[in-house]
Structure 1
């Protein structure tokens, strides 16, 4: 297995996190070389007039109203207001900085194109082909060969076919994915018995103890774990190692597929790393929040959160502001979340458009009592 670990020894003394933005932009999840403008045009043309298109237009209209409201609030701020909120922001930043914890080593692991990789492992004839797991209604995941055409998860299958005429479809088999996920999780338990998974193909591990007990680095643990996962499952995974979970997740995406990226437990390394990091790469900042921050305050990177701290304090709730400033500082969770009892169960199925109320009530009834 190849190891694309981002460490100073790999780069002749160059600190890899300083050129993170370029690396991320050029190698994001196998999407390099994709004509994004062409993809967006195809999506627009293929979905125009559909229920999906109408719903997206409604959501965009709501977002536009939110942006206009924030702009109006921003325009009302006086110099005295800004001066006051600047002091509030500076106080918050000092308090947040004081909470920085560099004592933990977190590893985030993400299986590469998991569903597609499992299907290819089970059926080797699919290897090298542009593969979509899902249906014409919705794609659950796509192989890296398909992603080169702009095909991606959560995209309707008929649009995927337009982007990639040779796209091969395979129906999801969640029993199969659960099996392989279980094999990978047995490996994770060797390094952190209390690891927690966020999905079948992603998990967070606190490797602080194993590094200390065995006298090895986070880089060595990541490489060893990835090799073990491949040996046990036949699949590859990517990993990110960092002082907290938020940054570890970002790191695991840098050298995908089948690679790893290590960020040292050093404050300067962390702040340099996040300085050019696009805000959309942070979990919790979605499309709408990204648009509001960019179009109202001109914020595109995590560092700009700190530079516009006064305006964030003035326009957003205290909870949101604390989160934004924490992102700007590169702070994230360092403690293992408490185990919570399961409060619900879920079952998903993508339906074709239908007005058959009898069918819908039948399906609801079935899952309500299952």
Structure 2
């Protein structure tokens, strides 16, 4: 292949081009991104960077010089508007760029509140990219009043940052409980208690009727009639994969850009990786939203673009930082039948172990890194520990690995 083009300069796109060069690809390599900044880390954006604890250049995944030094044509502030599959070229910046292979790493965008609810008012923010955080930063100040809409991990992390900055925080979740789609009631209970200890006014089963204000948000009316005076709103109601470019090109869309187990789309010259891509895994089609998957899947696709033909078989893991708590998750809990709680070494640590029948499928570990590492290794090895031994605080977790 003389030319590979990668669309999307996020974690997946940056990982893919770096892996192509590391695997010996010597042809023309182009990475196209819509943002002004070179590829950067996203998790610290809404935490250390927002709080002024991390400089912009420390966010960068690699020094800016890396791309030129490795013969990677990094094109920033450029939007790809079309894919011409027949002539194998993309249209961007008013010109055509040919490719022999194309990788779509277009990521995902945050869901926003509709205009009918006041979502277009100034002071209503989402948290996804550098521009989002830079726009929000001046409003993060002691005494300011924030409403967080959404009780998933994005919303909970936003609430933790705001409270840590000395703000008054109300968090609403329209569903009966927080973390309803991603965690067991036991984990939701643990994080509800954490946020209440830190002074968050957390309201479950409570929707938003509308935001109020002329040009800038000044308040909210909740579905139960409660009125709040506000200085800002942070919306954390999930993300949607960026599929418009692929869909317009006639590629198959199925909870993202559909690929085979190698990362190929319906067009054998086009590949996809990261938050935008869905793929077959253990009898179902999934899409993983995590830094780990963006890196691992992109690197697997890079190898397969060069002929490896190795199926992508991930071992999912995730994390979330809230206050002084690090949550580490191993596995996927879909289909669990029951949850076993293992007490932690301190009052602020614990782990929840998900079982499907007698099979261990996932672990949520709160300030319990040993539990996380042992659980991760057990899941990856296909081992399921004895529940009684697991629940006993006196059990040496490492012994479970050898059982």
Structure number with higher strand proportion? 2
Higher relative contact order (CA 8 A, sep 6+): 1
For the aligned pair, the TM-score class normalised by the smaller chain equals 0.3 to 0.5
Tell me the TM-score normalized by structure 1.
0.33
TM-score (norm 2): 0.31
Between Structure 1 and Structure 2, which shows a larger proportion of helix residues?
Answer: 1
